[in-house]
A and B are shown apart, each in its own frame.
Chain A
Amino acid sequence: MEQRAGGSRIVDFDLEKQTVRELNQYLHKELPKNGVEEVRIFNPDGAHHIAVGMDAPAKVDIMGNAGYFVAGMNKHAEVTVRGSVGWSVAENIMSGTVRVEGYASECAGASGRGGLLVIEKDASSRCGISMKGNDIVVGGSVGHFSAFMAQAGRLVVCGDAGDGLGDSLYEAVIYVRGEMKGLGADAREEPTTEEDHASLAGLLERAGFDHDTEEFKRVASARSLYHWNADRDQGY
């Protein structure tokens, strides 16, 4: 049902009455052509795949908890989840913004290539796994093995980080404000530079947090796994 609010065109979907498939087909096929600026989704009730494959610069407001893969492969859209999300929110995100006002389960922002994912509360394990250029800001803490094999992009953790942080990192950079339970293979803490502070300040501002950047530690790759070496630790 379409309505106008403050001059912008808004369409509402109610997942008690409509299916996720109908919603996604609308978002893919009609929305890019019809000039609607905002879509509100009521009664998401933990459904999977809400607003996956977005390819238009619209606002999508999900009024409750969502399941797996919400906003997966997002391009251009600004998606807000007014609740918590299941696994792999914004996986393979390319651009745009995805904001989760609650908590995120595992693999948040996995393998994303651009754009920004904000989790206002905590994210579970493997947050930012395999990330390839996206930015993730977590207001709370992240679980173990976060940023595993992360290739590019920035993961900002305003709370604590679980064990094995940044295991097998490539060129992604992690900033952690709280405690780090343990670093993964080839991840190391490094001094922060002016550049780090500037980039972190920009990200925090976009994410809506006002922490002092001096409180953050920087973790990056020691690059000792960049070349396969038979003589190194045989545990690997």
Chain B
Amino acid sequence: MGIDREDVAGLEESSLYNRRVQAWIQTAAERGRYDIRGLGAKRKVPHFDDLTFLTGSASRYPLEGYRERCDTETVLGSRYAKNPIRLDIPITFAGMSFGSLSANVKEDLGRAATELGTSTTTGDGGMTDEERDSSETLVYQCLPSRYGFDPDDLRRADAVEVVIGQGAKPGGGGMLLGQKISERVADMRTLPAGIDQRSACRHPDWTGPDDLTIKIEELREITDWEIPVYVKVGATRVENDVKLAVKAGADVVVVDGMEGGTAATQDVFIEHAGIPTLAAVSQAAEALEDMKMTGEVQLIISGGIRTGADVAKAIALGADAVSIGQGAMFALGCNSEVWHDENGEPVSAVEDYEKLGTKPGFCHHMHTGMCPVGIATQDPELEKRLDPEWGARRLRNYFQTLNMELTTLARACGKSNVHHLEKEDLASLTIEAAAIAKVPLAGTDWIPGKF
């Protein structure tokens, strides 16, 4: 493409104050407040896309695609728990709250997870019977807000996850705006219906890492040391946080990168806090190695994991499993132009997106509770737009595809078990990725800062 002479002559756009930035400043000047929105960081950050696999050739012996066996079984929580979690695949559903999502969606996640032999996770707002009943393996989150936290639910959980932070808003707590606080949600959270609700950013009963050790022991004592205890952190000072979590006695550490999603938080937080998942996984794996805990404490990575290639790369970099939230939303039809009626016929949702001031493909409006496709809502009419059967099938197909992609890549790297994928199977496509993931730049043996 040639240079546009007019641009050069007189219409050159500022890169610092481009039209987007100008519009943002003008909106800020008009409204006098920050934006609140859902989903994750939209800015481009170094990502798994910046890596590629060095699959089999003369020097590496590949396995036959979809013929030769490639195991995906994943065990989580083997350090102290009497009953570690055993999953058929290393891909799990991340914690998402009932309140943010409808009860139907929570049930869908459970049903799909059960069919796939994987786990799903509760969220802020407690455990619903629908998700417990539909999930064979359910991880119960212990969040700072403690909304609806119930020892009976803890006793019927398969693992407990102490949530310290979330990739979309590490250190930031949460928000659920009044329009989503239905009677049922309010009741579960012991709050008046209709108020804007703030989820705490610090736990009420412990503060520093020494207290965390004692908190973890309390959870173990209550559950008679039977179920694994996960600790989830938003990716910031990953090395220190992983080490502290391990020292505090976690069986599993979950690290959520800045691409991770949220139901509602300040845009400035989503875009400007935390580090990318690619950086987080490498640091977390190194922290475990440093402590000689690789394999003893398992690592789950989340935040922007979309494809089987992302899963395979995360595992090659040291993750034992991944967790997916936003991908599941998209599988259910988030940002789709249509929803499906009871006969399976597509119905346009475009007008409803417009009412929210957005379009299919650009929506991040779960905070409004008016989800055009019936996912992130408590409105009984909107909820009907997502048929539970259809939703569960879509989730299952999506995860199945990811797992097929994962095993395809693993076989091509000569691995009969996806957990045998390793850093040596990768090359970086950018200098940033090489430096961040400590994977040599493609065609070289150069890792910036290392050699």
Q: Report if A and B associate in a common complex.
A: yes
Name the contact of B205 in the complex, choosing from A69, A113, A132 (C-beta under 8 A).
Answer: A69
- A225's nearest neighbour on chain B, judged by CB, is B198
Which A residues lie within 8 Å of B32 (CB)?
Answer: 230-231
Name the contact of B211 in the complex, choosing from A20, A24, A87, A129 (C-beta under 8 A).
Answer: A87
**Could you tell me which residues of chain B, from 174 to 216, have a CB within 8 Å of some CB in chain A?**
175, 177-178, 189-192, 195-196, 198, 200, 204-206, 211, 214-215
Q: Tell me the interface secondary structure of chain A in the complex.
A: loop
| B146 interface residue (CB < 8 Å to A) | yes
Which B residues lie within 8 Å of A53 (CB)?
Answer: 151, 154-155, 221-223
Shortest CB–CB separation between residue B379 and chain A, in angstroms?
A: 19
**Judging by beta carbons under 8 Å apart, are B205 and A55 in contact?**
no
Docked Cα-Cα span, A177 to B429, in Å, equals 68
The stretch among A4-12, A88-96, A191-199 that forms the contact with chain B is A88-96
- A74's nearest neighbour on chain B, judged by CB, is B151
| B330 interface residue (CB < 8 Å to A) | no
**Judging by beta carbons under 8 Å apart, are A68 and B214 in contact?**
yes
- B178's nearest neighbour on chain A, judged by CB, is A227
Given contacts A87-B211, A92-B146, A113-B150, is CB(A72)–CB(B222) below 8 Å?
Answer: yes
Which B residues lie within 8 Å of A231 (CB)?
Answer: 32
Name the contact of B146 in the complex, choosing from A55, A130, A225 (C-beta under 8 A).
Answer: A130
Which A residues lie within 8 Å of B177 (CB)?
Answer: 228
Which A residues lie within 8 Å of B146 (CB)?
Answer: 92, 111, 130, 132
Docked Cα-Cα span, A231 to B25, in Å, equals 18
| A29 interface residue (CB < 8 Å to B) | yes
Taking residues whose C-beta sits less than 8 angstroms from the other chain, chain B's interface range is 35 or more
Given contacts A53-B151, A171-B192, is CB(A91)–CB(B222) below 8 Å?
Answer: no
Which A residues lie within 8 Å of B150 (CB)?
Answer: 94, 113
**Judging by beta carbons under 8 Å apart, are B151 and A73 in contact?**
yes
**Could you tell me which residues of chain A, from 108 to 131, have a CB within 8 Å of some CB in chain B?**
110-111, 113, 126, 129-130
Docked Cα-Cα span, A92 to B221, in Å, equals 15
Q: Tell me the interface secondary structure of chain B in the complex.
A: loop
Which B residues lie within 8 Å of A228 (CB)?
Answer: 175, 177, 196
| B239 interface residue (CB < 8 Å to A) | no
Shortest CB–CB separation between residue B149 and chain A, in angstroms?
A: 6
| B354 interface residue (CB < 8 Å to A) | no
| A41 interface residue (CB < 8 Å to B) | no
Which B residues lie within 8 Å of A170 (CB)?
Answer: 191-192, 195
Shortest CB–CB separation between residue A91 and chain B, in angstroms?
A: 4
**Judging by beta carbons under 8 Å apart, are A126 and B204 in contact?**
yes
| B218 interface residue (CB < 8 Å to A) | yes
Shortest CB–CB separation between residue A140 and chain B, in angstroms?
A: 21
Which B residues lie within 8 Å of A75 (CB)?
Answer: 151-152
Name the contact of B218 in the complex, choosing from A72, A132, A149 (C-beta under 8 A).
Answer: A72
Which A residues lie within 8 Å of B225 (CB)?
Answer: 21
| A151 interface residue (CB < 8 Å to B) | yes
Docked Cα-Cα span, A225 to B206, in Å, equals 25
| B224 interface residue (CB < 8 Å to A) | yes
**Judging by beta carbons under 8 Å apart, are B205 and A226 in contact?**
no
Which A residues lie within 8 Å of B204 (CB)?
Answer: 91, 107, 110-111, 126, 129-130, 148-149
Which B residues lie within 8 Å of A25 (CB)?
Answer: 224
| B31 interface residue (CB < 8 Å to A) | yes
| B20 interface residue (CB < 8 Å to A) | no
| A218 interface residue (CB < 8 Å to B) | no
| A49 interface residue (CB < 8 Å to B) | yes
| B33 interface residue (CB < 8 Å to A) | yes
Which B residues lie within 8 Å of A68 (CB)?
Answer: 211, 214, 218
**Could you tell me which residues of chain A, from 52 to 72, have a CB within 8 Å of some CB in chain B?**
52-53, 55, 67-69, 72
| B217 interface residue (CB < 8 Å to A) | yes
Shortest CB–CB separation between residue A211 and chain B, in angstroms?
A: 28
Docked Cα-Cα span, A116 to B378, in Å, equals 34
Docked Cα-Cα span, A88 to B175, in Å, equals 25
Shortest CB–CB separation between residue A117 and chain B, in angstroms?
A: 13
**Could you tell me which residues of chain B, from 109 to 152, have a CB within 8 Å of some CB in chain A?**
145-146, 149-152
| A188 interface residue (CB < 8 Å to B) | no
Given contacts A49-B217, A87-B206, A87-B211, is CB(A226)–CB(B195) below 8 Å?
Answer: yes
**Judging by beta carbons under 8 Å apart, are A28 and B224 in contact?**
yes
Docked Cα-Cα span, A113 to B34, in Å, equals 34
| A152 interface residue (CB < 8 Å to B) | yes
Name the contact of B149 in the complex, choosing from A20, A67, A111 (C-beta under 8 A).
Answer: A111
A23-34 interface code vs B (CB 8 A; 1 in, 0 out): 011001100000
Docked Cα-Cα span, A72 to B190, in Å, equals 19
| A83 interface residue (CB < 8 Å to B) | no
Shortest CB–CB separation between residue A26 and chain B, in angstroms?
A: 11
Name the contact of B221 in the complex, choosing from A21, A113, A149 (C-beta under 8 A).
Answer: A21
Shortest CB–CB separation between residue B173 and chain A, in angstroms?
A: 10
**Judging by beta carbons under 8 Å apart, are A24 and B224 in contact?**
yes
**Could you tell me which residues of chain A, from 183 to 236, have a CB within 8 Å of some CB in chain B?**
225-228, 230-231
Which B residues lie within 8 Å of A94 (CB)?
Answer: 150-151
**Judging by beta carbons under 8 Å apart, are B206 and A24 in contact?**
no
B219-254 interface code vs A (CB 8 A; 1 in, 0 out): 001111100000000000000000000000000000
Docked Cα-Cα span, A226 to B186, in Å, equals 13
**Judging by beta carbons under 8 Å apart, are A55 and B151 in contact?**
yes
Which A residues lie within 8 Å of B195 (CB)?
Answer: 170, 226-227
Docked Cα-Cα span, A132 to B146, in Å, equals 9
Assuming A21-B225, A55-B155, what are 7 further A-B pairs, CB within 8 angstroms? A73-B151, A87-B214, A113-B190, A132-B146, A132-B190, A170-B195, A230-B34
- Which A-B residue pairs are the 10 nearest by beta carbons? A230-B33, A53-B222, A88-B205, A130-B204, A73-B151, A110-B204, A110-B205, A132-B190, A226-B195, A91-B205
B residues at A contact (CB < 8 Å):
31-34, 145-146, 149-152, 154-155, 175, 177-178, 189-192, 195-196, 198, 200, 204-206, 211, 214-215, 217-218, 221-225
A residues at B contact (CB < 8 Å):
20-21, 24-25, 28-29, 48-49, 52-53, 55, 67-69, 72-73, 75, 87-88, 91-92, 94, 107, 110-111, 113, 126, 129-130, 132-133, 148-149, 151-152, 168, 170-171, 225-228, 230-231
